[in-house]
A and B are shown apart, each in its own frame.
Chain A
Amino acid sequence: MINILALKPGDRLQLRERILAEVTQNMEDGMWVEVRYLDAPNEADKGLIELCHAQDIVALLDGSQPV
C-alpha cells in the first residue's frame, strides 16, 4: 500500500488503465494527489492535469516507497 501522504511533486506513478503520471501537487488529505498525465492510451489525455485518487495508483515508479 502506498503512503499517499508521502508523495512529492515530481514522483512518477503508474496508474490504472495504463496511464503514467507525475505528481504535481499533494494536498495531503491522504486521499488525493494532483497529477499530470505523461503517457496514456488516449493521445488526447497526455498532458492533462487531473486529481488522482489513491485507488487509481498501481505503483510508485523510481521511488523509495514500497509498492
Chain B
Amino acid sequence: MTQKDIDGLVDVKNGFISRELFVDADIYKQELSKLFTRAWLLVGHESLVPNPGDFYTSRMGEESVILCRDKKGEIHVFLNSCRHRGMKVCRYEQGNTSLFTCPYHSWTYTTDGKLQGVPLYKSLYDGVLDREANSLVSVARLCNYKGSIWATWDKDAPDFLTYLGDAKAHLDQALDCRDGRDGGSEVIGVHKWVFPANWKFAAENFLGDTYHNPSHRSVDLIGIGPSAVSGKKGRRDNELEHAQHVWISFPAGHGVHSAIQPEANEYIESFLDNPVLEQYFRHCYEERKRRLGDGARLMPFVGTIFPNTSYHGRQPRGLCAWHPHSPTSTEAWRFFLVDKDAPSEVKDYLRHYYMRYSGPAGMTEQDDIENWLYATAASTGTIARRYPFNYQQSMGAYTTDHPLGGELSLQVTEQIARGFYRRWASYMRDADWGELLGLPAGNREAAE
C-alpha cells in the first residue's frame, strides 16, 4: 500500500477516516499480513493453563494458536498447524495432554512443540527426518505480563514493556489485585461470540469513546450495577464521581480513559447489594492506598492496547480480544478477571455482574454490538463508501506535558482514535519499529 493510498484513507490532520477501512476485503487482507504479524497480541492468561500439560487454544489474527504449559512448567504459544499437511494438531478449546497428535497422519508433538513422533519414521524417512526443524511453529516473542500472555510473530519487535510504553500504568490497574498487589488475578470465565462488524469498531470503542454513552441510556435507567437493588442506577457504581477523568492517546497507538481521584481520595460506597462484597472492596481500597500512596489516585476505566486488545479496569474488570474473521465479522473474547485469593462469594457475585454487563448476553455489550453491526452494514454500499467517517471531535484539545505521558485530554475526545489510525497507517506502510512506537525521529535508532 503506497503513501498515497494510505493518505486517501486516513486523514488524521483533517479528521476523516475512510469507510473502506471497515469493509474492504483487500485492506483487511493487508491488515492480517502487515499488522497482525507484527504487533503484540493478547493470547490468554496463565490461569487458563495452571498445570504442566495444560493447553488453551487461542487466536492471533485469523490463525489458531495453542497456549500451552509444557512438562517443565514453561509457557509456549504455537501455531496450531501440523508441519506435514497443516491439519490442526489440537481441536479442543482447552484441556491437559502430554502430546499433540495430528489427526491426519499422526505426526506428534510434545508440549514444548518438538516433533517427537513420526509414524514409520525408520521405514519411510530412513530415521533421518530433521525433527527439530519440523517442530511446531513458535511465536517469535512471548511475554507473561502479570499473568496475561502476549505474543508477536515479529522477531524484531521491541519487548512488550517497550511496546506498552506509558500505557503500562493503566493496563496495570486492570491486571493488579484490587488491594494494589502486582498481578495476582485469575480468569473466572471466558465468553466467545461472533458479531457482524469490523474488529476496529470494537477496538476503537474501548480506546476511550465516552461520546457513545447515550447509547447505554436504557441500561443506566434500569440500573445493572453492583448497587442496583439498593437504588443506585447506572451500569456501575459511580466510584469515580469526584475524579478528574483523562483521555490519553499514546504514540504506539494505544488509548485509555482513566481517572485521577482527588487528593483526599476517599472510598465511595459500592457493592451495596452485598455486605461481603462491600467489606472486601472497602478493605482493598484502603490497602491499595496504603501500598501505592499517591499512585493509588490513578484509577482505570477502559482502554485499548493496539491493535485489538481492550480492557475494563474496575466495574466490570476484564480483558477483551477482538479477533478478526473477515472485513465485516469479528470474534469477541472476554476474559473476566478477579483477584485469585478473593473469597468465593466475591468471585461468584462478580461473575454474575460481569455477565449482566458484558458478553453476548450482557446488556451494555448488546448496545455496543448493535451499533457496530448496523454501522458496518450501512457502510458497505457503493454510495456509503464515498463518504468518510468524521473524526473531528476535540481537535487540538490535548496537552503533551502531563506526567501520565501521551496526548492527554481533559475532555471527551477523538484524539485517541486519530492516534490509533495514525499508527494503523504506519503498519500498513511497513514502517520500522521506531515509527510504530511513535518515537521522535532522533530516538528511533536506539529502538532498532
Binding site for B on A (CB under 8 A): 15-17, 19, 27, 29, 31-32, 42, 45, 50-53, 55-56
Contact = CB atoms under 8 A, between A and B. Distances in A.
Nearest to B118: A53
A17 B118 CA distance: 15
Contacts of A51: 99, 108, 116-117
B101 A29 contact: yes
Contacts of A53: 106, 108, 117-120
A29 B95 CA distance: 14
B85 interface: no
A16 B120 CA distance: 8
Chain A interface main SS type: mixed
Interface in B65-124: 98-99, 101, 106, 108, 116-123
Given A16-B120, A17-B123, 17 more contacts: A16-B123, A17-B122, A29-B99, A32-B106, A32-B117, A42-B127, A45-B127, A50-B117, A50-B121, A52-B117, A53-B106, A53-B108, A53-B118, A55-B119, A56-B119, A56-B121, A56-B122
Contacts of A45: 127
A56 B125 CA distance: 13
Interface in B117-138: 117-123, 127
4 smallest CB-CB distances across A and B, nearest first, come from A51-B117, A53-B119, A17-B122, A55-B119
A32 B120 contact: no
Contacts of B108: 31-32, 51, 53
Contacts, number: 41
A15 B123 CA distance: 10
Chain B interface main SS type: mixed
Interface residues of B, number: 14
A32 B101 contact: yes
B123 A32 contact: no
Interface of B: 98-99, 101, 106, 108, 116-123, 127
Contacts of B127: 42, 45
25 contacts: A16-B120, A16-B122, A17-B122, A19-B122, A27-B98, A27-B99, A29-B101, A31-B101, A32-B101, A32-B108, A32-B117, A50-B117, A50-B121, A51-B108, A52-B117, A53-B108, A53-B117, A53-B118, A53-B120, A55-B119, A55-B120, A56-B119, A56-B120, A56-B121, A56-B122
Contacts of B99: 27, 29, 32, 51
A21 to B, nearest CB: 11
A56 B121 CA distance: 8
A12 B196 CA distance: 57
A32 B100 CA distance: 11
Contacts of A29: 99, 101
B87 to A, nearest CB: 14
A22 B424 CA distance: 57
A31 B123 contact: no
A50 B121 CA distance: 10
A67 B218 CA distance: 71
A16 to B, nearest CB: 5
B106 A31 contact: yes
Contacts of A31: 101, 106, 108
Contacts of A50: 117, 121
Contacts of A42: 127
A29 B116 CA distance: 15
Contacts of B123: 16-17, 56
Contacts of A15: 122
B274 to A, nearest CB: 46
Among the interface residues A15, A17, A19, A42, which one has the most CB atoms of the partner chain B within 10 A?
Answer: A17
Contacts of B118: 53
A33 to B, nearest CB: 10
A55 B123 CA distance: 11
A17 B123 CA distance: 7
A62 B418 CA distance: 74
Contacts of A16: 120, 122-123
Contacts of A17: 122-123
Nearest to A42: B127
B83 to A, nearest CB: 16
A53 B122 CA distance: 11
Contacts of A55: 119-120
Contacts of B106: 31-32, 53
Nearest to B103: A31
A55 to B, nearest CB: 5
